[in-house]
Structure formats: C-alpha cells, structure tokens
Structure 1
Amino acid sequence: MTPEETGKAYDTITHRWTRPEFNQKNGITAYQKALSFLQDTLSQEPDALPIEALKDGPNKRGYALDIGCGCTNRFVPIIESAGLTYEGIDVSKEMLAIATTQLPAHTFYCADVCTFTLPRQYSFISAWDSFWHIPLTQQAPLLKKLVNHLDDDGVLLFSCGGTGESGQHTNEVMGPEVYYASLGLHRYLEILMEAGGFIRHVEFDQYPELHTIIIVQKKLSKNKAE
C-alpha cells in the first residue's frame, strides 16, 4: 500500500480516536522521556534560559514535527510546555480536518512525509504509532532525512515493530486494510547511528508485544562539541 492509500484508510476510521473511551494518555510517557533529553541538554548550556522560562511563550527552543499526528492533538500540550512550536503532518485528510478544527492557529501539513520537503530544522521530531505505515523501502531513507533535519542535540522519538528481521504485511484489524512494515530493531539502530544519532532509549513498552520505543539524539556538531 502507498502512504496515500493508508491515508484514505484512516479517513474512514477517525471515530476510533474521537470516541470517549480512547486512551488519551497513550504515548504520553514516551514523549515525557524523549523531551527530558532535550531539557537535560539545555540545562548543561551556560547561556540557556531556565526551564521555567520556556513556558512564557512559543519558539523559545525551536520547532517540533509530529509525524502521523492524527486528530487527538494530545501531544501538543506536552510539546509546547517544553517551549517548542508544534507542527503536525499526516496523510489522512479527515484526521487533519478534525485536528485543525480544534487548533486552527497551528500548522498542519497534509502530505506524505517521505516525499514532503521539510520546511526547517527541528529540535524534536516524533512519529508515534505511525512509522510502521511507511513503505519498507522508504523507511531507511526517511530515518536519515529526519536525523538530518534535527538541530544539534535535537531528539527523534518513534515507535516501531521491534522484530528480529525485516518484513511487511497488511491486515484489517481496524476495519479497512492497513499496511505495516518493520526493518527490524537492529537495522533501525544501525541506520540511526550511521546517520549521526546517539541512541538514548530503547524499550519494549508493551511486552510481550513487539511495540518498541526508540529515542535518538543528534550528536553535537564538531565546532559545538569543541
């Protein structure tokens, strides 16, 4: 399936995220963990603002990109509380229609992140329960692209299938046919390190399921490290 086809599938199941019983806390702990590495880096910089000052307004720390942002906007408050300006991207028009209705002043892109030209560098990039919908052949190039678009010390968080080998399949568990793929945990880590990332955290957070959290931080540039 192409990302566009995946988007059309999600267009038909927005109700799964808007119903009252949806767990709005899903993923929050992972975001708190990932953003803590960003805060730790800031606290080590002598000229940086104190953490409390980051709540005074947006764009004190740069921008955040939420890939496969969906319609709940549940990650927006935690990202903005870290002093970041939030942007979301999704291939589902209906998901974004709901998200933008709730937050009309925020920036949302309806696009395939694989082919989309990212407009800027980001301090934080996340892809919660969305990266596995990326076609298998495009996952490695996309990871490199995302790390390249991180600021120095920027943090990337994504969830994936922590399989031993690469593979892909489709199923109809949610209703429409949806595509899933994984490069395998070791390959993900290899790609991220080759791209200049430092692995901060890996967790099978729903064990024995293979749902896996990976957090990587972009290494300091040579000049900044010196």
Structure 2
Amino acid sequence: MTPEETGKAYDTITHLWTRPEFNQTNGLTAYQKALSFLAAPPSQEPDTVPSEALDKGEASNKDKPKKRGYALDIGCGCTNRFVPIIESAGLTYEGIDVSKDMLAIAASQLPAHTFYCADVCTFTIPKHYSFISAWDSFWHIPLTQQEPLLKKLVDHLDDDGVLLFSCGGTDESGQHTNEVMGPEVYYASLGLHRYIEILIEAGGFVRHVEFDQHPELHTIIIVQKRTAQKTQ
C-alpha cells in the first residue's frame, strides 16, 4: 500500500480515536522519557517586569517557558494529546499526517497550530527540529522508504536534537497488511538491529530501546543526534 492509500484508510476510522474510551495517555510516558534527553533550555532572562505589575499578578519572565526550538510530530493523528507535553518542554509544535480527515479534526481543535497534510517520505521538511516523533505511525511507511526516511529525519534534527519513534521490534525485516481496525492497513519493519545500525550510521546516539508492551513486539527507540564536530 502507498502512504496515500493508508491515509484514505485512516480517513474512514477517525471515530476510533475520538470515542470517549480511547486511551488518551497512550505514549505519554515515552514522550516524557524522550524529551528528558534534551538539553536544558537557556537560562531565563532577568526579571524585567515592574514590581507594580507583579503586584497585579502579571507573570514575570522567569515564570514563562523559554522557547528552545521546534518539534515535528509525524503521523500526529487527531487527538493532539502530545501537544501539551511537547509545549511544556518549551518547543513549538508542528504536526504532519497523510490522513486529511485526521488532520481536519486536529486543526479544528488547535487552529493556531501548524499542520501539514503530506506523505512525510516525499515532504520537504521545512526546518531543523529539536524534537521529532513518530508514535505508532512509522510502521505504515513502505519498507523500501524507511531507511532513507530515518536518515532524512536525523539530518533534520538540530545538534543534540532527539528522535522518538515506535516500531515493530522484529528480528528480521518484513511487511504485511491486516484489517484489524476495519479497512486494510499496511505495516512494515526493518528489524530492530537494522534500525539501530541505520541510526548510528546517520550520526545518532541510541539513548533508549524498550519493548514497552512485552510480549508484543511494540518497541520504542529514542536517539539523539551527535553534536557536529567543529573544525579547527
């Protein structure tokens, strides 16, 4: 299946994520872990708010989160549940998804935020990011495009930026489709060892690997881009 076909499949099942019983905490622990590897934000500017303003309850600069870059959430879906934890880390959130109906729901809830409706494999990533994530979406990427996409994502991280994605922690590469959610949906994995090899070759330092739903093969990988060596 192509990413466009996967997007159309997800257009038909948005109700699975908007129903009240959907677990809105799914993935939050992994995001908290990944964001913890980011460097501390720059120190706050000295408090320049006049004392009379503080008396009125106005926030000082030290009470405001310091912006420290952008975050790109791949396969962001419609729940926006990762937005608060990302923004609490001082990052500006952007989402991308190939499902136009998923994005329509997300954008209706957060109209001031940036969302891209595109296939991330062919999408021209507009900037470098401090944090890139792909929660329960990377396995929908066609098998032949997963390696070049991983390299592209690491390349578009800031120095010391962090990439988080979940994948199928299989021994070998493979691909299949199933209809568990209703429509036919594609899944693929390069195999855990190959993912790690690619990330290291691309200049990443593997910070965390976890089979978080054992005995299922659902696997979390967190990698941090090594700081570029400065020339003398």
TM class, shorter-length: over 0.9
Kindly provide the CA deviation profile for residues 136-190 of structure 1, in whole angstroms up to 9, marking residues without a partner as x.
Answer: 0000000000000000000000000000000000000000000000000000000
SS class of match (2:37): helix
Of 210, 226, 230, which residue of structure 2 is paired with 1:223?
A: 230
1:73 alignment partner in structure 2: 80
Q: Could you say which residue in structure 1 is the equivalent of 2:101?
A: 94
**Pairs aligned (count):** 217
Q: Deviations over 1:66-105 (max 9, x none)?
A: 0000000000000000000000000000000000000000
State the SS of the aligned residue for 1:20: coil
Partner of 2:64: 56
SS in structure 2 of the partner of residue 223 of structure 1: coil
Partner Cα distance (2:221, 2:91) in 1: 20
Alignment of 1:177-216 (within 5 A): 177-216=184-223
Residue from 78, 83, 108 that aligns with 2:115? 108
Contact residue 54 and residue 81 of structure 1 kept, 8 A: no
Larger fraction in helix: 1
Residue in structure 1 matched with residue 179 of structure 2 by the alignment:
172
Distance 1:184 1:54, change over 3 A: farther
Q: Distance in 2 between matches of 1:135 and 1:178?
A: 11
* Distance in 1 of aligned mates of 2:200 and 2:81: 30
* Structure 2 SS opposite 1:222: coil
Partner of 2:29: 29
TM-score by length of 1: 0.93
Q: CA deviation at 1:57?
A: 5.0
After superposing on structure 2, the runs of 4+ consecutive aligned residues of structure 1 that deviate more than 6 Å are none
Structure 1 residue 42, shift from structure 2 partner: 2.4
Match of 2:40 in 1: 42
Superposition deviation, residue 223 in structure 1 = 2.0
Q: 1:127 aligns with which of 134, 139, 143?
A: 134
Contact kept in structure 2, 1:54 and 1:82, CA below 8 Å: no
TM-score by length of 2: 0.90
SS of the residue corresponding to residue 151 of structure 2 reads: helix
| Long gaps (5+) in structure 1 | none
CA RMSD of aligned residues (A): 1.7
- SS of 1:37's equivalent? coil
Sort the Cα spacing of 1:54 and 1:81 in 2 relative to 1 into closer, same or farther, 3 A.
farther
The percent of aligned pairs where both chains have the same amino acid is 84
